[in-house]
Amino acid sequence: MEIIAGVDIGNATTEVAIAKKDEMKIEFMGSSLYKTTGLKGTEENIEGIKKAILLLLEKLNLKLENLDLIRINEATPVIGDVSMETITETIITESTMIGHNPDTPGGCGIGLGITIDIDDLQNLLENDEENYIVIANGNKNFLEIAKILNFSRNRGIKVMGAILQKDDGVLVNNRLLVKIPIVDEVQLIEKIPLGVKCCIEVASKGRVIEKISNPYGIATVFNLNSEETKKVVPLSKALIGNRSGVVIKTPQGDVKEKIIPAGNLYIKTNKSLESVGIQEGAEKIMKKISFLDVEDIFGEDGTNVGGMLKNVKNTMHKFTGENIDDIKIKDLLAVDTFVPQKIKGGLAGEFMCENAVGLAVMVGTEKNQMNHLANMIKNELGVNVEVGGVEADMAIKGALTTPGTGKPLAIIDIGAGSTDACSIDKYGRRSHIHLAGAGNMVTLLIQKELGIEDFNLAEDIKKYPLAKVESFFNIRYEDGTVEFFNEPLSTDIFAKNVLVKNGELVPIDIKISLEKIRQIRRESKRKVFVTNSKRALRKISLTKDIRDFEFVIIVGGSALDFEVPEMITESLSKYGIVAGCGNIRGVEGPRNAVATGLVLGDEEC
């Protein structure tokens, strides 16, 4: 009898299964997992492999010398990044606009006038005919500002709106005899030009501005011609969805656009070289790729996508030592998304959402690289190591240990970086595919669309349900259910959106509604998990029709997600397919399929 360890090196985790095996039977002893160290399929994986194996051996009261064989998967790395469809960099000189959205603007309505410093109001003659927008820096408190504005109104000065540096909009407005729209929290207020035409708009509670978020509205206010109207499109786009905003027209109209091209994708086959523009969107990109036998994918020089794909190959060259010309991108998943882009020169942290195409790519590695890794593991641990089959083949062997399953069968193995699929018919004939894009791609989309810098926070938003803290004693979950508490909740989370993570309430400090966060999370999952699951099934179908499969088992780390299995099951149900999560060996749930398959090795399915 020999003891075998199957080791599945994933993009996020390394999973191990250990079993006793002889000619008559296989007895599984246990499993473990550990975070993958380094890029999947490279020498840095050894530390994670060692930790995962030692953890399990300790649990089983075994030592390394008790192991007869370690069998590893053919680990193909997948790297995800985002390439912009169009990046419009709006360079603002002389403070051309403020795309502002403070939490508590004052007043309501539209104010149009000439910008003037609050201290200069006293120099105006009574009943001055001009309309004014008052600029007040942080040197005065709200009582002083309100007093000056009221006094100026009594003198007949037409104060039509105000821009404040402090968070005093509501306090000032409550003390005004005549209500005006007020935008506050403008940090760089000293950069606002004086003596120029300005339009300020504040929407009522629960609504958003309409006039200056429309390029034709801006054109109407400032009497712009058709060419000038084209130039203010980025400004109006930045104001869409805001409760307040300001547009200021400088004498020069200094709004410049710099378009950084997204570029073209080039798809090399054994017969031709095809191209598709990133600006055409994800649907056309995927339609083009789906009909081609891809040998390599690369991007146009000097463009966003060209730089992104070069960076992927350079990363692989660094880790594997392979010649960069020999590194090929074998598959690509493109997803339409939106990415907040900060506007340079803004006065209050303004940004606008630009269309973008998210890309996950799969870099093909040679088996020689895996043999090299196997030799290094052998030298490190002193145990014989061999490379098993491709992940999809191993996963289907593991998936078939799920109680109640049988042939014919298709499995979808959804990990962090790739989506693998394999089918087996009643005669044992198989088909498999290895595709780019899975859990990490979803996290990346959530991170980019929400404008979050912390990847780990985006990962948590993907994995855990949301709630709103409504009082010190209750929260309302995203599905509408309410939970009450006997003890008061922390003031740190009062009135905030939170993640319900392992029984703890973790605040999400971003100014986006719970409903919007939930929408972005769910749409990101559909775009990647559901799309790739269907794509994978079509690839392994002899007729390219999903309806060829009666039963589908979902396995892999992403199958543990609280939403994904239901999304995929619902999506496949319209094709008459029975789909659900696997339960490997009746005890592991959807995890450990590949590691289990590696232990089974050449055993007949």
pLDDT classification of 382: cutoffs 50, 70, 90: very high
Q: Residues 498-552: pLDDT tens digits?
A: 999 998 999 998 888 999 999 999 999 999 999 999 999 999 988 888 888 888 9
Given a contact cutoff of 8 angstroms between Cβ atoms, the answer to whether 324 and 289 are in contact is no
pLDDT of residue 405: 82
Q: Residues 281-311: pLDDT tens digits?
A: 889 999 998 878 899 999 888 777 888 888 8
Given a contact cutoff of 8 angstroms between Cβ atoms, the answer to whether 6 and 16 are in contact is yes
DSSP assignment of 202-252? EPPTT----STTSHHHHHHHHT--HHHHHHTHHHHHHHTT-SEEEEEE-SS
pLDDT classification of 315: cutoffs 50, 70, 90: confident
CATH number given to 80-87+259-364: 3.90.470.30
Listed residue (33, 1, 38) closest to 20, CA to CA? 1
Given a contact cutoff of 8 angstroms between Cβ atoms, the answer to whether 200 and 161 are in contact is yes
* Residue spans per domain, the chain: 1-75+367-388, 80-87+259-364, 94-253, 399-438+521-605, 440-520
pLDDT at 184 over 50: yes
pLDDT of residue 343: 56
The mean per-residue pLDDT over the stretch 181-190 comes to 84
Distance CA 34, CA 14 (A): 5
**Whether CATH 3.40.50.740 fits 399-438+521-605:** no
pLDDT classification of 568: cutoffs 50, 70, 90: very high
**Whether CATH 3.50.30.70 fits 94-253:** yes
3-state secondary structure at position 429: coil
pLDDT of residue 347: 55
First to last CA, the chain: 21
Distance CA 304, CA 457 (A): 26
Counting Cα atoms < 13 Å in the Cβ hemisphere of 96 gives 21
Q: Residue 428 has which token pair?
A: 């044992």
pTM greater than 0.85 (yes/no):
no
Q: Which fold does the domain 1-75+367-388 belong to in CATH?
A: Nucleotidyltransferase; domain 5 (3.30.420)
Strands 385-387, 69-72: parallel, antiparallel or unpaired by DSSP? parallel
Distance CA 570, CA 595 (A): 28
Q: Residues 397-456: pLDDT tens digits?
A: 899 899 888 777 899 999 888 888 999 887 778 888 888 889 989 999 999 889 888 999
Q: How many CB atoms lie within 10 A of CB 21?
A: 19
H helix intervals, 425-579:
439-450, 455-463, 514-525, 531-540, 564-573
Distance CA 145, CA 482 (A): 43
pLDDT of residue 585: 94
Type of residue found at 500:
V
Q: Which fold does the domain 440-520 belong to in CATH?
A: OB fold (Dihydrolipoamide Acetyltransferase, E2P) (2.40.50)
Fold equal for 1-75+367-388 and 399-438+521-605: yes
Could you give the maximum distance between any two Cα atoms of the chain, in Å? 104
